[in-house]
Chains A and B, each alone.
Chain A
Amino acid sequence: MMTIRKTCLCILLIAMATGIALAQGSGISSGYPTPRNGFSVSEQRGHGLYLRYCVYCHGVYGDGNGDNAPFIDPKPRDFTIATFKCRSTPTGTLPLDSDLIHTLVRGVETSNMPSWRPLSDENRDDLIAYIKTFSERWKTEKPGEPIKIPPETPVDIASIRRGHDLFEKVECWKCHGQQGHGDGPSASTLTDSKDQPIRPYNFASAGNDGRFKCGVTNEDLYRIFMTGLDGTPMPSFADVIQPNDAWDLVHYLRTLQVNRRSKEREVLKAAGGPTTLKTPENKSENNSPANSTTLVRSGGR
């Protein structure tokens, strides 16, 4: 009788141990639903986190068609095409993991994407690992080489003037408006790559923190217009603006953030305010071709 009991106990223990091992392997032990097979441990954990935090907007298939998507503007990112707005890499290339992590930490200004700062570093790494499973591109392509950003040039009125000149010449105002209010002549017709209407950034809407869609620092702003925001109408200017001259544009754009206290605004105010920038030759609603040496010119490369 004792032998039969011992045998039954042994079988029960073995069955329990097998069950626990299987559960651990499938991710049940993490408390999250069982993921698909073939995932790494990090992807499995990321899958659970995704179902908890991301699926309502980005959808089960990562295509941006979650239950909340119809009520969200702009639409949630579609991970299946692996096109990302906020990158340190050139237009048309995959971002670095660190770019995606920064987006998670920061959130995306003027969208419904919140900051996920409360998540742990490990959680964020796992989420990035998981969202990369939605597109084969991550298996066949490498992320782009980050653009090189030279040290910031001094903020002075000459730099702001040159930045204003660039703003006119590369026609940022066509979308962002002359005052940077996001009300340029093309603003109302803009659509993203999925044909959804999209508004250009309104510089005046920024508070004292001066946040942009992809960051808050001058370096972030530099990166935005030199890499472009892929999937949106915002193009890359890396082929037409010299790296050092890009700082001039950064300094001028900062002056458009009228609700933010900044060195750029102080320098402009001391020089006489925005009207000092409006010299006759650069009031360029006249559509005259650019003739500044600061643009990359034909035959000049």
Chain B
Amino acid sequence: MPTKQMLVALLTLFVCPHLLFAAGTVSGKVTYTGTPARQKPIDMSKEPSCAKQHATPVTTETVVAGPNNALDNVVVYVSSGAPDDGQVPAQAVTYDQKGCQYIPHVQAMHVNQELKILNDDQTSHNIHPLAKVNREWNKSQPPGTPPLSEKFDKPEFIPVKCNVHPWMHGYFAVLTTNHYDVSKDGGDFKLPNLPPGKYTITAWHESYGTQTADVTITGNETKDVKFTFTAKPY
């Protein structure tokens, strides 16, 4: 059987080598139409060690909009057709608590990938992922203690909060693919290294829900995909 597969691979290499080594890219921009909800200023006066880290008042991040109606913090990922489902990256992703904010606000990761949670603040936080499909847990992390090492074994978009500092809200996006990006710097995203094939690309936003687009990659090419969400004023 392996011999037959090798023969097919060799034949393909000779007949159409671009199919073996080709890797396309899906890139684009996430935008919105309408009027997004106005983000509320956060009063951190009860936590002076955090308040002093911000020169200007911090606002909530349920909608992070940029110039030209750009929308950041949208998880864009290959929801079907990705060839590497099940391959868990060895490298951990990190989720930092700094200035009583979650950095990044949305952290995407593969199912069962190590997630390191840091506390860079001079105050205690409690990490409380409100999982429904995975297990909900809640752990204290005082300043100076080691990073927490966690993982989630099922795909889910999990809200995260700190009960001590009620303004701290974020998300873990646990996916079954390594082809993902979170829109930033004006709504831009990029999904490189996609072999030829048909893909469904999904974009998820914590306030505006999901959108999908079908894309076919045929070789070394970059396909442009745009997602436009309808903003809700409240």
A interface residues with partner B (beta carbon < 8 Å): 81, 83, 91-93, 141, 169-171, 174-175, 185-186, 189-191, 193, 228, 230-240, 287-291, 295-301
Contacts and interface: CB of A to CB of B under 8 A. Distances in A.
A91 B137 contact: yes
Nearest to B143: A289
A291 B144 CA distance: 8
Contacts of B39: none
**Pairs of residues from A and B, 5 with the lowest C-beta to C-beta distance, nearest first:** A92-B137, A233-B163, A235-B126, A171-B124, A289-B143
Given A189-B166, A236-B137, A169 B145 contact: no
Nearest to B127: A235
Contacts of B128: 193, 233, 235
16 contacts: A190-B166, A193-B130, A193-B136, A228-B138, A233-B164, A235-B127, A236-B138, A239-B146, A240-B141, A287-B123, A290-B143, A295-B145, A297-B145, A297-B146, A298-B147, A299-B146
Interface in B132-151: 132, 135-148
A109 B14 CA distance: 75
B164 A175 contact: yes
Secondary structure call for the A interface: loop
Nearest to B50: A287
B165 interface: yes
A57 B148 CA distance: 37
A298 B137 CA distance: 22
B79 interface: no
A206 B61 CA distance: 41
A174 B124 contact: yes
Contacts of A186: 46, 163-166
Given A174-B124, A233-B163, A289 B144 contact: yes
Contacts of B142: 169-171, 240, 290, 295
Nearest to B146: A298
B49 interface: yes
Given A174-B124, A186-B166, A237 B145 contact: no
